[in-house]
Amino acid sequence: MRTICTLVVLAACGGGPANPVIDSPVASACSNGCGATYDGTVQCPLCRYAGEPVATMLASSTVALGAGPIIAYVAGGLVLATRGAAWTTEQVTTSIGSGPIHVAVAPDGTPWISYFDTSSKLAIAHRTGATWNIDTLTVSAKDGPLAISADGTPHVAFAGVANSMIGVHVATYNAGSWTVSLVAKTTQIAGSIAIAATGTEVRVAWDDRDVHGLRHATVAGAISVETAVPSVSLYTDQSLAFAIDTAGQSHLVYRAAGDVKHALRAGTTWTIDEVTGVYGTSSVAIAAGGDGKVAAVFSHTNGLSVGFLVDGKWLVQTVVRSCTGGPAEGQFDAAGALQIAHSCNLAGIHLMTQVGLYPDDFASTCNAVAHTLCQEGCSCNPPPSGDCCVHSMGNGFCASPPSYCDVDAVRYVCGDATQDPATLYGCRDAAPSAACAASMPGVEVPASCAGYF
């Protein structure tokens, strides 16, 4: 059984016809987000994004996004792309191995990148003028997330061995050298790890395999460690993301038990909620904006989705209909617009920037088009097979049981958040004329809908 929430909340969230949508948003409910339903009754407008290609030739699906925006990726070495009037690229180093990369920008504009070199050493690069300076740490680690405090000091967190001790560590750069400090001693090497900074305070979160839970540490002179989420084990080593909002609250987004979940630390109390139940999640990221906005970005078998946290509820929208093979990262720009960098389907690096909202009736139109096509698809292929097939020139899907058809059709029709809404309305007008395919089961969609399949 699959469970995935896409553009709108569907009955049983993974099966059944679409719920009726109320197209009059409540301004207070939707002020900090867009997409899906608010409280199960109010439909907030769907976000619209502008997409732009950054790079086409990749050696790895790894992507890291920083303010500017800047994007680090791997293509014949470690490359940094910077957007000005146009995108410019520069090679940081050719000594790039496998493993995650991270990028952050200091208050003075200096870019910092953490990565693993060809000797599997954790390395940190920063640019001075036109020169890249590279340091390597004498540690054993699998990841090295990066954060920069308000005074411009870079910090790298890692789980592994340093100074002959297994544990969670933070390396801090000061006066031209790195100092490694132990945050928490462990007997097993922790899994996923993440870091964030607020002011001059650094916080670290990690998947602690000694206690089988997520741990959180505040490093501000003294070190304070607490359990954020008990009794949880993450799927993979890059299944945790961390951000701090403008109120100083810690937000963790993580992948566990097939769901994307969120843990919030308000004061000294942790609360846990679900962003969405989603099938086949492969990466998670989180962003906190200067105006109090919080967004989760996650790729999965059936696409790339974004969730906005509004009044304790998550508004979830699929923004790329297919996203295999690549992670994604998100951040808010200076104007408060969400930016998403992704390498979905290994088709290069792309940046999406929120540019506004779709019309209020856009989501309900998505539902209506999907339902119309599925009714035709089911009627063209009646029992005993029971499959509902919708396609164009052989591209499309067959849903079984038929109750899944609306879910899949919504993803195909409205799973691209950069599309022109006029295209959808053209498909809506043509959908009732869809005819059964001559040589395949199901319905062959009209030409106005063909671009979706």
For every residue of the chain, which 3-state class applies, written as one string?
A: CCCCCCCCCEHHHCCCCECCCCCCCCHHHHCCCCCCEECCCEECCCEEEEEEEEECCCCCCCEEEECCCEEEEECCCEEEEEECCCEEEEEEECCCCCCCCEEEECCCCCEEEEEECCCCCEEEEEEECCEEEEEECCCEECCCCEEECCCCCEEEEEEEEECCEEEEEEEEEECCEEEEEEEEECCCCCCCEEEEEECCEEEEEEEECCCCEEEEEEEECEEEEEEEECCCCCCCCCCEEEEECCCCCEEEEEEECCEEEEEEEECCEEEEEEEEECCCCCEEEEEECCCCCEEEEEEECCEEEEEEEECCEEEEEEEECCCCCCCEEEEECCCCCEEEEECHHHCCEEEEEEEEECCCCHHHHHHHHHHHHHHHHHHHCCCCCCCEEEEECCEEEEECCHHHHHHHHHHHHHCCCCCCHHHHHHHHHHHHHCEECCCCCCEECCHHHHHHC
Site of tokens 């942790």: 270
Q: Are strands 395-399 and 269-277 parallel, antiparallel or unpaired?
A: unpaired
Q: Are residues 132 and 220 in the same domain?
A: yes
Q: Are strands 250-256 and 240-244 parallel, antiparallel or unpaired?
A: antiparallel
User: For 50-108, what is each residue's pLDDT tens digit?
Assistant: 999 999 877 677 899 999 999 999 998 999 999 998 999 999 999 999 889 999 999 99
Residue 94 sits in a domain whose CATH number is: 2.120.10.70
Q: Residue 276: what pLDDT?
A: 87
- Residue 214: pLDDT band (50, 70, 90) is very high
Q: Are residues 132 and 77 in the same domain?
A: yes
User: For 119-165, what is each residue's pLDDT tens digit?
Assistant: 999 999 999 999 999 999 999 999 999 999 999 999 999 999 999 99
Q: Are residues 259 and 393 in the same domain?
A: no
Q: Are residues 257 and 269 in the same domain?
A: yes
Q: Write down which residue in 299, 325, 357 finishes a domain.
A: 357
Q: Residue 282: what pLDDT?
A: 77
Q: Residue 30: what pLDDT?
A: 76
CA–CA distance, 331 with 193 (Å, rounded to integer): 19
Q: Residue 382: what pLDDT?
A: 72
The token pair that represents 14 in the structure block? 């993974």
Q: Residue 16: what pLDDT?
A: 29
Q: Write down which residue in 340, 357, 374 finishes a domain.
A: 357
Residue pair 2/14 in contact (Cβ under 8 Å)? The answer is yes
- Assigned domain for 112 exists: yes
- Assigned domain for 253 exists: yes
- Assigned domain for 29 exists: no
Q: Are residues 349 and 402 in the same domain?
A: no
Q: Are residues 352 and 385 in the same domain?
A: no
User: For 266-316, what is each residue's pLDDT tens digit?
Assistant: 999 999 999 988 767 778 999 999 888 999 999 887 889 999 998 888 888
Q: How many domains does the chain have?
A: 2
Return the bridge partners of 102, or none. Answer: 114
- Residue 29: pLDDT band (50, 70, 90) is low
Query: Residue 437 corresponds to which amino acid?
Result: A
Q: Are residues 111 and 57 in the same domain?
A: yes
Q: Residue 274: what pLDDT?
A: 93
- Assigned domain for 49 exists: yes
- Residue 40: pLDDT band (50, 70, 90) is low
Q: Write down which residue in 324, 340, 357 finishes a domain.
A: 357
Short-list 315, 287, 296, 281, CA closest to 47: 315
- Assigned domain for 6 exists: no
The answer on pLDDT for 14 being more than 50 is no
Phi, psi of 413 (to 5 degrees): -75, -40
Mean pLDDT of all residues in the chain?
Answer: 87
- Is the model more confident about 197 or about 27? 197
The answer on pLDDT for 19 being more than 80 is no
- Assigned domain for 204 exists: yes
Q: Residue 9: what pLDDT?
A: 32
Percent of the chain with pLDDT over 70: 89
Q: Are residues 320 and 387 in the same domain?
A: no
- Residue 238: pLDDT band (50, 70, 90) is low
Q: Give the number of other CB atoms < 10 A from CB of residue 321.
A: 21
Q: Are residues 261 and 210 in the same domain?
A: yes
Q: Are residues 307 and 414 in the same domain?
A: no
- Assigned domain for 28 exists: no
- Assigned domain for 1 exists: no
Q: Are residues 95 and 212 in the same domain?
A: yes
CA–CA distance, 301 with 286 (Å, rounded to integer): 19
Short-list 383, 268, 285, CA closest to 340: 285
Q: List the 250-256 sheet strands across, edge first.
A: 240-244, 250-256, 259-266, 269-277
Range of the structural domain that residue 304 is part of: 35-357
The answer on pLDDT for 21 being more than 50 is no
User: The whole model's pTM is what?
Assistant: 0.90
Radius of gyration from C-alpha coordinates of the chain: 23
CA–CA distance, 7 with 195 (Å, rounded to integer): 30
Q: Are residues 287 and 412 in the same domain?
A: no
